[in-house]
Chain A
Amino acid sequence: MKDLKAESNLEKVLRAGHFALTGECGPPKGANVAHLKEKIAHLKGVVDSVNITDNQTAVVRMSSWAASTILIQEGLEPNFQMVCRDRNRLAIQSDILGVYAMGVRNMLCLSGDHQTFGNHPQAKNVYDIDSMQLISLVKKMRDEGKFMNDEDIDVAPKLFIGAASNPFADPFEFRVYRLAMKIQAGADFIQTQCIYNMEKFRNFMKMAVDMGLHEKVYILAGVTPMKSVGMAQYMAKSVPGMDVPESLIKRLRGAGKGKVAEEGIQFALEQMQEFKEMKGIAGVHLMAIEWEHKVPEIAERAGLLPRPKVE
């Protein structure tokens, strides 16, 4: 396979035309390496690569780059996430070189949840550059071998660039343009926010396909299985940019006591089946947060195992 940008497993799988499956793991709230290794063990061989979050929801956790290198040591491939909230351009470029040196090959460029959400709301806000500029920066470092200030980089980081897309945030009509901008800036792959409103997502994908965006970037649809009615209600009410239809909450409630989690998985499996056949979707990003041990089962039932091995 030639002309690969980063030669990561994820890139190879997508390039070869396979339906990709990525997972996610939040680093521990401490230097608890044992716990991290335990969680990721469930994902080994089950997904093509694993997102490692960066102080997700502005709660301090082990740094994304450190957890990513632990993943590499354990034989998995990380999708290193970096948010713009906590770092200025010096630290950003420095960390990009660092993670590449440690073996990271996939990177997601995100804005980051505002620190008021998290456990250190008093912190100073950085946001030196935004996620769009970060994507553009990584591309410049990779393809031109230059720092932001146009100085040469002695060994350029070759990273497969990812970005997030939220079809459910407002204004809806603009979301597909923003996706187009991220592609223009240099995104190689996109992971969407977790999807529950399938109708709205189909509309979004139709607009994206009409604009030909699916031919310029690999789009992975976000799936998070609902574990309980409480979880569904919380996400519907308290997570900005999340769209959980009432019909889903009703369906979960109707499953009966003790059977809600299974119903949630059923819904996720139905979604994954539709995504396999949906035009423009190159894979699924499965975010079974704190439910990593369920991922092998879900992947199996979705017919996505074994994962392809591409040279």
Chain B
Amino acid sequence: MIIADRKPLEEILQMVKDSNKILILGCKGCVTVCNVGGMKEVGVLSSILKIARKKEGRPLKVDEKTIERQCDPEYIAQVKEIVDKYDAVISMACGVGPQFLSEAYPTQRFFPAVNTTSFGGATSHGVWSERCAGCGTCVIHLYDGMCPIARCSKSIMHGPCGGSARGKCEISKEVDCIWDMIVKKKMEKGRLEDLIQMKPTKDWRTARDGGPRKSVREELVQ
């Protein structure tokens, strides 16, 4: 799923400083799963903004709504009747949401309340870690189910580098060295020869480096 973190409150308040009536739009997709932009979080942000503005003596009217997803036109259409009733709309969905909304409702201003970071999953309760960098050419099977492109700080394909120490990446003791894990697993399974073979250089065209990407299912296109 897509992982995001809420923007600093100061930044969000700045976004709506000229508004008196706003809508906070949540999403039941990824941002609900990582507890940053679902119904509950919409309620919390709403209360926080109201408190902050009351404190300033400029009360803010806030409506709350959470839709199924903000990455499908059918769901975006659900807010058609209400979207223009506000001075501004805050979207708590990932970076896709505010863009889809902006496209569908060009007369309204949409603000992102979260900073979208990566594709990942829950590694323990309340913690989500990056697993995929969206390179477009998945080769995790070559590394026994681990991705060095996303999880090695240098995206090395023949690791580990000389900075790997005690299973941790040189950039921080909080970051595991994925290459340490790959090597250990390969050694355990007796597949070290897999690593000794030279891998060809990566074709980054399928990644974001090649330009914005599009996926088309010919069998579905009408």
Contacts and interface: CB of A to CB of B under 8 A. Distances in A.
B157 A125 contact: no
Interface in A118-168: 125, 127-133, 136-137, 148, 164-166
Contact of A170 (B155, B156, B180, B192): B180
B206 to A, nearest CB: 14
Contacts of B121: none
Contacts of B187: 171, 173-174
Contact of B161 (A111, A125, A128, A180): A111
Contacts of A258: none
Interface in B109-137: none
Instruction: Classify chain B's interface size.
Output: 20 to 34
Contact of A240 (B158, B165, B195, B198): B165
A170 B165 contact: yes
A178 interface: yes
B154 A111 contact: yes
B15 to A, nearest CB: 23
Interface residues of A, number: 37
A84 B158 CA distance: 13
A181 interface: yes
B196 interface: yes
Contacts of B158: 130-133, 178, 181
Contacts of A131: 156, 158, 161
Nearest to A242: B165
Interface in B188-206: 192, 195-196, 198-199, 201-202, 204
B167 interface: yes
B170 interface: yes
B164 interface: yes
A132 B157 contact: yes
Contact of B156 (A127, A174, A180, A193): A127
B154 A169 contact: no
Contacts of A127: 154-156
Contacts of A164: 162
Contact of B166 (A89, A113, A170, A174): A170
Contacts of A177: 192, 195-196
B198 to A, nearest CB: 6
A241 interface: yes
Interface string A215-248: 0000000000000000000000000110000000
A240 B160 contact: no
Contacts of B155: 125, 127, 130
A12 B67 CA distance: 72
A241 B184 contact: no
A169 B165 contact: yes
Contacts of A148: 201
A240 B160 CA distance: 13
A170 B160 contact: yes
Contact of B196 (A112, A113, A173, A180): A180
B201 A171 contact: no
A184 interface: yes
Nearest to A112: B154
B201 A111 contact: no
B171 A117 contact: yes
Contact of B170 (A84, A114, A193): A114
Nearest to B165: A240
Interface in B141-194: 153-168, 170-172, 177, 180, 183-184, 187, 192
B11 to A, nearest CB: 18
B154 A125 contact: yes
A129 B163 contact: no
A78 B184 CA distance: 38
B187 to A, nearest CB: 7
Interface string A172-186: 011001101100110
A166 B180 contact: no
Interface of A: 84-85, 89, 111-114, 116-117, 125, 127-133, 136-137, 148, 164-166, 169-171, 173-174, 177-178, 180-181, 184-185, 193, 240-241
Interface of B: 153-168, 170-172, 177, 180, 183-184, 187, 192, 195-196, 198-199, 201-202, 204
7 contacts: A114-B154, A128-B204, A131-B158, A165-B162, A170-B167, A177-B196, A240-B163
Name the 3 nearest CB pairs between A and B, nearest first. A166-B162, A132-B158, A240-B170
Given A129-B202, A166-B162, A171-B184, 9 more contacts: A125-B154, A127-B155, A129-B201, A130-B159, A131-B161, A164-B162, A171-B187, A181-B158, A181-B196
